[in-house]
Amino acid sequence: MRKVMIDGFVKPLVHGGIILLITFIIALSIGEIHSIGNITLKVAIILIILAIITSGTAVNGDRMRANFAYETRQDTYSRMRWSKNFLLMSIPSLVVWIIT
């Protein structure tokens, strides 16, 4: 059980680090290394928006009620897992933004 919980948090952070590395490579290749803070902030915002969309938080109350009424427990778990993963993937980009 503990290995599953660790993998559930470590893998999205590693994926976020890979996204950050790709962002650095792109910034270096186009010569915009001085604006890396703004680029990483935009990447983090995109990931947070994806987390909000996949969790269903951005819908009104009627749609959320309908989703919960017709959704299986597995669908809800999968949707929340994706949302958690997107939020965890945004952490490395937010840390770099705060540092720069």
* Domain range list for the chain: 2-99
Looking at residue 4, what is its pLDDT? 58
Is the model's pLDDT at 2 over the cut of 80? no
Q: Cα angle at 86 between 83 and 90, to 5 degrees?
A: 140
Residue 5: pLDDT band (50, 70, 90) is: low
Q: Which two tokens stand for residue 19?
A: 């996204």
For residue 83, the model assigns a pLDDT of: 92
Two structure tokens written together for 92: 């490395």
Rounded distance between C-alpha atoms, residue 29 and residue 9, angstroms: 31
Q: Does the structure show a pLDDT above 60 at 1? A: no
Entry pTM: 0.82
Give the residue among 95, 98, 99, 93 at the shortest CA–CA distance from 46: 93
Q: What is the pLDDT of residues 21-62, one digit of tens each?
A: 999 998 888 888 888 888 999 999 999 999 998 887 777 777
